[in-house]
Structure 1
Amino acid sequence: MNSSADTGSLPAAGGAEPSTDYAALRRDPEYAELNRALLDLVPVGSGPAVLDLGCGDGAVSEQLLLRDPAMSLTAVDPDPALLDAARARLGDRIRSAVGDAASVSRLFPPDAFDTVVLANCIHLVPDLGEALGAIGQVLAGGGRLVCNSAFYSGAESAADLPVYAELVGTARRLARKRGLPPARSAAGRPAGLRRSAADYQAALAAAGFTGVVTTERVITLGRSFLAALCSTPMFATAALPGIDRHTAAELLAEALEQQYERAPFTITRRCVYFSATKP
């Protein structure tokens, strides 16, 4: 990511910037830093056709266009509201379609893209083999798939696990005080969070990708990043199942403030990045 991608933004196509559950995260500088290594894996030049899969409200789409305005960018997300927000911000700079990773082979013709990007969302893909197979169909020969995740087996620092437990435990106690007892969490971690970096490597190889390069980086999550993360539906609903996601986010924010008042802290995680080529 160049310096303009770190701090710059494209003017909203419709005037005022729309607000989404991910707006605070998109604006957070630590989140931009998390994406830097991923964006550096995307080839620049020659007007490439790029698919931003799981684009959300367009945070990474915006940075891709700042890096390479000549690219032809298509944004796809399963949430129509987030996709509407991306379109409102980026307008005719992007094409867009509602869908998930497994549906792209039905949405687009074979060999339609030079690069496919999954930024911070591959852990949400339920059937990795199906998704990688579909991506392989729409990726042109010699094209590149890049993805990353900070939510996988081995991402957490063992020393920080009690910090997560305290945050969620405090939020659950606050919920019960409001008469909103959270539902019991489903047994075990979701499938995507149980995958290791080696699992992703094996899945990419099984799907026929070659030249797989894997890197891991240690990231530090400060107060603003954690507050923004707690406001996202993914984190809030996982921490407090059975509670409205906006209420859950409020409870987590309150719990985070209480935790910081007792003792300021940061959390460290590992983020894994993959780059692979379709032969």
Structure 2
Amino acid sequence: MLDFRLYVFYTVAKKLSFTKAAAELHITQPAVTRHIHELEQQFGVALFERAGKQIRLTPAGKIALDHAEIIHANYRQLEFDLNSLKGQHSGVLRLGASSTVAQYVLPPVLARFHDKHADITISLVSGNTEQIEQALLNRDIDLGIVEGRTHLHELRYTPFVPDEIVLVARTEHPLAQRDEVSVEELKAYHFLLRERGSGTLEVIEHALRQVGVKLVDLPIEMYLGSTESIKSYLFHSNCLAFISIYAIESELKAGSFRVIDIQGLDISRPFYTILRQGDAEPLSETFLRFARRHYNHG
């Protein structure tokens, strides 16, 4: 365990809340305040300042957090290496995944991984690609899996598994009985799209541009914040939507949705794993090796 006062500081700095830190650490708020005060006395600087009802890091606090991040990562590396000597894999792995990956791609492999490595505690948060990238930059997660095309230079992107985005409609839709439609025909129908910041929307927009279509050329009925909300809306409308093939497997089997091919348009992409440049994350690598075997062998 890290020096407990430093760990208290680290938790408060990440939460920017004494109350939330106390709840996570299972200690009282006065105890949190005392530990922070002792640390400030030790270094002779203030680490936090009040901003109304909120707190924020002072310049000294930001420097302290940078070092606490490194110390925390080194401790987790130490814990992993010593456990490996004993033939054990244990620790905490914090995953973040964009919505499609978190909901449809990861659950099966997470279940199998837990069966094999029950001593590794995994947490999974989801959001759009931008949010997951930011969480990784903030060191709130150890490993991200996303679906966007834009790559930040601070992060290392590696293809994970392939995906295909397809045009989908409910079976009662006028186009549902067609084997194929032209790009121009799309402009006559209303669409549901994911919100800005979504990796899926970014990929769709890029693919459409390659065939001479801009999003503004399409009648957009609504932007929605999740694939599930788009699927639910589709059931009750004559809209069209571009959705990952992973997300509609059960609907295709049930016959409630149809995939409509578009002439000259193929929207294929990889999902990417992302790590911070230069970081060694042994638990992340252990998980990724397992996950790739899962998807390569079924």
TM-score by length of 1: 0.29
Structure with bigger gyration radius: 2
- Identify the structure with the greater strand proportion: 2
User: How high is the TM-score relative to the length of structure 2?
Assistant: 0.27
